[in-house]
Amino acid sequence: MRRFAISALALAARSIAADCNGHAELCDRSYSEVSFVGAHNSPFVGIGPADNQFTSVTKQLDLGVRFLQAQTQEKDGEPEMCHTSCLLEDAGPLTEYLSEIKTWVDGHANEVVTLLITNPDAIDINKYGDAFKSTGFESYVYTPPKKLALNDWPTLGELISSGKRVIVFMDYNMDTSKVPYILDEFAYYFETPFSPTEDNFIQCDIDRPDGAKADDRMYLANHNLNVEILPGVLVPDPLHSAETNSIESITSQTDICMKNYGRYPNVVLRRYDSGPEPTQWVLDPLNAADELETRAYDNDDNQICFFIDIALYRNAPKQHRNIGGFHVRCIQGSDQPHLNQRDIHQV
């Protein structure tokens, strides 16, 4: 059997400090190089057919969500947190939603948070700007100096140090000439298919925007299962949310994404995050992959096994803490294209 391991010196150099979104390792990582847990339709909490979360926005953030997606509709001329229609689901004014997030951000000085707001009714973008101003949230929001290329984004450390550590995107009907910090989602991201069902759940194809290429864009993987109850009528599937949100289910998709694009998704957008395990540690291996490079060995089954620093797994269940403080994940060697031989030493 051939075995490989990273040198003890390199292992000892790993810091357990947690300075940027929970990890010192992420402080020097560009925003566009980090994988975030996302909450789909974050304000819509409950067990009804239009609800997509079990817990409040505050609790979602406490669990590790750092990318909050939300729908708005027009109500009395103002943006309202409504799902499809305010008659179907109304979670209150945009100002209340922003105020709740701002309160959490106020109390977590080393966290970068992203919002993705939809605007299907083409509400005047200044109404959104007014909501950010009236809640005081505008003071946290990052405004790029120009249209940023993929590699132009500041690091998490730079965003936190500047105090501008909230990034805001809108899917359609934004206007950066009027509100420069509400950014065009599809100028910066592509998404995998929206509202996937069991038949097309585990894949990583480009869906939106039309004709997009992966080059120079971040990307969002929709990982939220739906059920077709009538032809063309889809509803969320809360009954299988534990399985859908499991590490096994997420990595089955993100591994395909890595094969397709040579990098992991920037966002894995989920529903029904409720614990009991903190959400963020599910994506920690994605953030660890490039920074840790690969700590690996070949075994008799031709598998590549990754030793992930337990500093990135401090919230992981005990059964994942092994091999002297390192989590181990093994896959077939032929499935992993990005081994970094610099950190691999034969012993």
Beta strands 326-332 and 226-230 are unpaired
The answer to whether the Cα torsion of 83, 199, 256, 326 is positive or negative is positive
Nearest to 57 by CA among 123, 134, 125, 113: 113
Measuring CA to CA, how many Å separate 190 from each of 182, 205, 281, 291?
17, 10, 24, 24
Beta strands 218-222 and 267-270 are parallel
Cis before residue 276, ω within 30 degrees of 0?
Answer: yes
- Determine which one of 40, 108, 320, 327 is catalytic: 40
Distance CA 304, CA 318 (A): 22
| 223 is an active site residue | no
Nearest to 222 by CA among 247, 190, 248, 260: 190
Distance CA 129, CA 273 (A): 29
- Determine which one of 83, 223, 240, 345 is catalytic: 83
3-state class of 71 per DSSP?
Answer: strand
Neighbours of 229 (CB within 10 A): 10
Give the ranges where 201-310 is alpha helix by DSSP (H). Answer: 241-244, 247-261, 284-292
CB of 178 within 8 A of CB of 126? Answer: yes
| 83 is an active site residue | yes
Task: Return the active site residues.
Answer: 40, 83
